Amino acid sequence: MAATRVITMHINKGKTVAQCLADRTDYAMNPDKTDNGQLVSSYECNPDTVDAEFALSKREYFKITGRKQDGDIIAYQVRQSFKPDEITPEEANAVGYEFAKRFTKGNHAFIVCTHIDKKHIHNHIIWNSTTLDCTRKFRDFWGMAKVVRMLSDIICFKHGLSIIEHPKRHGKSYNSWLGENEHMSNRDYLIEAIDRALAQKPKSYDEFFAALKQDGYTVVKGKHLTFSHPRQKQNIRVRSLGDGYSERDIQAVI
């Protein structure tokens, strides 16, 4: 059984397409999370140069079609989280690869990065928004999150993994586990931004805050480390983000 969440990957203000792609793919392929890169697989791209290849495809798209970047979506990601102790890292990567190949119909380059640094094994599946022939773009659609979940369930069933056969339509546990809601919470966005900032190996809090500023976050002065963002109605304290994101944890990484 795997929980799925669809994430659209946008261009961050003040950064190039290549920089944004590098931030996301570097985090996904982090050797500390993927057994030194052993749990990274790819389709029609080289993991070592995936950011450059994705960026190049967008320049080729403009050359071929004459159309500029339509919107600011540069790639898509599905986070696929598995039930603890039910699957090996290698099988999780194989499941993620099969899902990506079938969902994109083999028309988009992608990487599958299996993270094993948490209790639950999970995949970061990232595919290029531009097709392999650089003539079209992937278009998300109404109900895409449900289709992602259903295809993931089908593949999990094929691999002998458990699935929820009769989910309650409004069941809280089902929605949270299988990812029926495609929208990330503000805390999820902040966690990802912190992960990307720390992946850049900042040598000081100033460098850490500067990296978060690129994602639109502002430090709120006060007793506890707190961040604001234009999309947030309320400020968020890092100590509310869960294990691994306390001020002490962040300080230790820096």
Q: Please list the helix, strand and coil fractions of the chain in percent, rounded to the nearest 5, in that order.
A: 40, 20, 40
Q: Detail the DSSP E strand segments found in the chain.
A: 2-10, 40-43, 73-82, 110-115, 122-128, 218-220, 226-228, 236-237
For residue 243, pLDDT over 90 is answered with: no
Report the candidate in 11, 18, 200 with the shortest Cα–Cα distance to residue 208. Answer: 200
176-205 mean pLDDT: 70
Report the candidate in 249, 224, 254, 253 with the shortest Cα–Cα distance to residue 236. Answer: 224
Report the candidate in 100, 105, 153, 149 with the shortest Cα–Cα distance to residue 127. Answer: 100
130-149 mean pLDDT: 88
d(CA 200, CA 196): 7
How many other CB atoms are found less than 10 A from the CB of residue 229?
17
User: What confidence category does residue 181 fall into, taking pLDDT thresholds of 50, 70 and 90?
Assistant: very low
Q: Detail the DSSP E strand segments found in 158-237.
A: 218-220, 226-228, 236-237
Contact of 78 with 138, CB cutoff 8 Å: no
d(CA 78, CA 124): 6
Distances 147 to 15, 112, 143, 180 between C-alpha atoms, Å: 32, 19, 6, 10
User: What confidence category does residue 92 fall into, taking pLDDT thresholds of 50, 70 and 90?
Assistant: very high
Residue 140: what pLDDT?
82
Of the chain, the percentage scoring pLDDT greater than 70 comes to 89
Residue 7: what pLDDT?
84
Higher-pLDDT residue of 88 and 173 is 88
The SS3 call for residue 74 is strand
pTM: 0.68
For residue 60, pLDDT over 70 is answered with: yes
How many other CB atoms are found less than 10 A from the CB of residue 211?
20
